[in-house]
Amino acid sequence: MRDPKSILITGASSGIGAALAREYAGPGCTLFLGGRNQSRLDELTADCTARGAAVESAAIDVTDAGAIAEWIATSDDRAPLDLVIANAGISAGTGTAGEPRDQAQRIMAINVDGVINTVHPALERFAARPAPVTDPGVKGQIAVMSSLASFRGFAGAPAYCASKAAVRNYGEGLRNAYARGGINVSVICPGFVQSGMTDANDFAMPFLMDGDRAARIIRRGLARNRGRIAFPWQMYGAAWLVQALPTWSTDWAMRSLPNKASD
Ligand SMILES: NC(=O)c1ccc[n+]([C@@H]2O[C@H](COP(=O)([O-])OP(=O)(O)OC[C@H]3O[C@@H](n4cnc5c(N)ncnc54)[C@H](OP(=O)(O)O)[C@@H]3O)[C@@H](O)[C@H]2O)c1
């Protein structure tokens, strides 16, 4: 959507979500910002309000399907949503001892179920609309946060990669399922972006970019209704190649990559 005026973002309390909120914040824009950390949400609310946006924040956990559905419904009633960004996510790796089962399940609950919990109420709201709200023919737009890590299961973070692969395929499927119904769905696949998530990494992160730049790229991609917003292109090319090559030819390289720390 070219110029969304009412935007809901999960995982807005830090990192890419916060950068997106600041990127969209401006006069005439209403932001609904979710996360669990209320004090970080309060700081962001003050910042976005100073930029001219109307802001409401909600300390809300994406694994609570009922609470998320209610938040989306009340937000949509207050200012009909143009864009919903299902961004909230966590990461953790294997460290040196392998990935604990409870960690893998927590990653799936937040990164996959949390996205489904966010996307479905938005789809239902958009689908029920009688007429487009902003752009002609477009009832609403949804963006889901995947990752370049979705293109191959990395030994250092199996559950994280799997969760992001699920989100990417889910979003790609939804895009074509709902296109004729006037609902645009985009999948965002960033490489390394500075945030709490990457601050925890003690290995070199090629082409690491700051959150503000990532937010500008994402906004531009969403304005053009891109199906896949993958960046930076160098890392996207590498991810695409590693996915396309036979596993036997890349397993040795996969085994030598550094591991992300476990929780
Ligand atoms: N940074 C990267 O390099 C990178 C690359 C590719 C994809 N991504 C994806 O981008 C998204 C944002 O990550 P980030 O890098 O910005 O990391 P971040 O700074 O750690 O932000 C994660 C956000 O998700 C929220 N969150 C986590 N668990 C939640 C839950 N159960 N309920 C509601 N909110 C929750 C956090 O808020 P609270 O702590 O307040 O709950 C925070 O706002 C994630 O989906 C991540 O997988 C990041």
158-172 pLDDT per residue, tens:
999 999 999 999 999
Residue 263 counted as domain residue: no
Residue 79 counted as domain residue: yes
Q: Does residue 260 have a pLDDT over 80?
A: no
Q: What per-residue confidence (pLDDT) applies to 177?
A: 96
Q: Is 1 in the pocket of ligand 1 (CB under 6 A)?
A: no
Residue 216 counted as domain residue: yes
Residue 99 counted as domain residue: yes
Domain of 41, CATH number, reads 3.40.50.720
Give residue 106 CA to ligand 1 midpoint distance, Å.
Answer: 13
Residue 241 counted as domain residue: yes
Residue 15 counted as domain residue: yes
The model's pLDDT over 126-138, given as tens digits with 9 standing for 90+, comes to 999 976 655 667 9
The count of domains in the chain is 1
Instruction: Find, among 104, 147, 153, the residue nearest to 254 by Cα.
Output: 153
Residues marked active site are found at 160
Residue with CA closest to ligand 1 atom 36 = 11
- The domain in which residue 16 lies consists of 6-255
Atom of ligand 1 nearest to the CA of 63: 31
Half-sphere exposure of 73 (CA within 13 A, CB side): 11
Give residue 135 CA to ligand 1 midpoint distance, Å.
Answer: 29
Give just the sign of the alpha carbon dihedral 235, 203, 34, 88. Answer: positive
Residue 211 counted as domain residue: yes
Of the two residues 55 and 252, the one the predictor is more confident about is 55
Residue 262 counted as domain residue: no
Rounded CA separation 196/32 (Å): 21
Q: Which residues contact 121 (CB under 8 A, 6 or more apart)?
A: 68, 69, 72, 73
Instruction: Find, among 169, 63, 45, 57, the residue nearest to 108 by Cα.
Output: 63
Confidence of residue 215 (pLDDT cuts 50, 70, 90): very high
Confidence of residue 196 (pLDDT cuts 50, 70, 90): confident
Rounded CA separation 235/237 (Å): 5
Residue with CA closest to ligand 1 atom 31 = 61
